[in-house]
């Protein structure tokens, strides 16, 4: 199968395709595919997804995807890799991690909020103008527009997550607790059992029993597993040092993270990162 590579941190392309299909292929980068005109089918990991004007797809690294063009189609592609991510602000990368953790549950067009569709259309049209006109600072302008599009994607995913209820006791408390953990994963003091129990107006003992009964893992086990999944994402998509990752996610120190990650993946973080780099070569 064809493996496409990206030799610069960031790239945009405007392409028109006729009746010929685009054969199955994989990337070592992230790709946003916006349909400007035309209809057909996109196949992502053997899932058939119809496309039409205004659809926006997010293709993750190593996803197998192809297009079967039914009607002459104009695609706009936005591609970026881990080098691009490394140069972004810390809080912005955390938003991207939210996408990484949730996008597998969202097949098809990633724009679920109808109010965002005209916004994205306008942003794509602005990108096309920058690409065609090549005026001063066009690349910097394009990057700012792309960052906005990615934040729109994050918002669309967030809108489909359970909302934080005004009256937790009247809602599905299990989902609410999970949502609270995901929102506060970078704030360790908010993840203490006493703090979570206070937030939901229940006792710490009841919280622990309820969480274990409804989720299988204990509260602390779940938090640790979720953090380790974020560590895995960091190792794959950034160049952060292991010690920096440990500090950001609230591990005691680098040794603590090494022990926990080896128990989780069978290798320490540095070895895991080397394995990923070998797979990409």
Averaged over successive runs of 10 residues, the pLDDT of the chain (281 residues) comes to 59 81 71 91 80 89 81 89 65 63 64 91 93 84 87 78 46 70 86 92 90 86 89 79 90 93 91 80 55
Taking every pair of Cα atoms in the chain, the longest distance, rounded to a whole number of angstroms, is 63
Strand runs labelled E in the chain = 2-4, 10-17, 22-27, 30-44, 47-51, 56-59, 65-80
**109 to each of 33, 44, 96, 147, 243, how far by Cα in Å?**
10, 12, 17, 18, 37
Q: 195: domain range? A: 168-280
Q: What is the pLDDT of residue 164?
A: 45
Can you give the CATH number for the domain in which 67 is found? 2.60.120.10
> Do 200 and 131 reside in the same domain of the chain?
no
> Do 123 and 83 reside in the same domain of the chain?
yes
Can you give the CATH number for the domain in which 208 is found? 1.10.10.60
Q: What is the pLDDT of residue 21?
A: 60
Overall number of domains in the chain = 2
Q: What is the pLDDT of residues 169-218, one digit of tens each?
A: 434 566 678 878 887 888 889 999 999 999 989 999 999 998 888 878 89
């Amino acid at each position: 199968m064809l493996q496409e590579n990206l030799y610069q941190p960031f790239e945009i392309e405007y392409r028109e395709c006729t009746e010929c299909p685009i054969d199955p292929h994989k990337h070592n980068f992230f790709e946003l595919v916006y349909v400007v005109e035309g209809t057909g089918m996109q196949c992502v990991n053997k899932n058939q997804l119809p496309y039409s004007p205004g659809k926006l797809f997010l293709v993750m690294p190593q996803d197998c995807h192809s297009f079967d063009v039914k009607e002459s189609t104009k695609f706009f592609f936005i591609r970026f890799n881990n080098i691009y991510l490394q140069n972004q602000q810390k809080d912005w990368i955390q938003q991207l991690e939210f996408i990484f953790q949730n996008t597998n549950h969202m097949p098809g067009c990633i724009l679920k909020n109808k109010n965002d569709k005209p916004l994205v259309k306008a942003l794509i049209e602005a990108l096309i103008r920058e690409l065609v006109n090549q005026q001063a600072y066009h690349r910097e302008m394009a990057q700012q527009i792309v960052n906005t599009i990615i934040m729109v994607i994050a918002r669309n995913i967030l809108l489909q997550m359970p909302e934080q209820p005004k009256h937790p006791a009247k809602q599905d408390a299990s989902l609410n607790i999970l949502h609270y953990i995901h929102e506060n994963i970078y704030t360790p003091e908010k993840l203490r059992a006493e703090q979570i129990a206070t937030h939901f107006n229940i006792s710490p003992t009841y919280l622990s029993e309820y969480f274990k009964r409804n989720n299988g893992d204990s509260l602390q086990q779940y938090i640790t597993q979720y953090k380790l999944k974020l560590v895995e994402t960091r190792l794959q998509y950034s160049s952060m040092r292991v010690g920096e990752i440990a500090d950001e996610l609230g591990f005691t120190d680098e040794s603590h993270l090494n022990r926990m990650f080896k128990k989780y993946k069978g290798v320490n973080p540095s070895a895991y990162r080397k394995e990923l780099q070998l797979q990409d070569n």
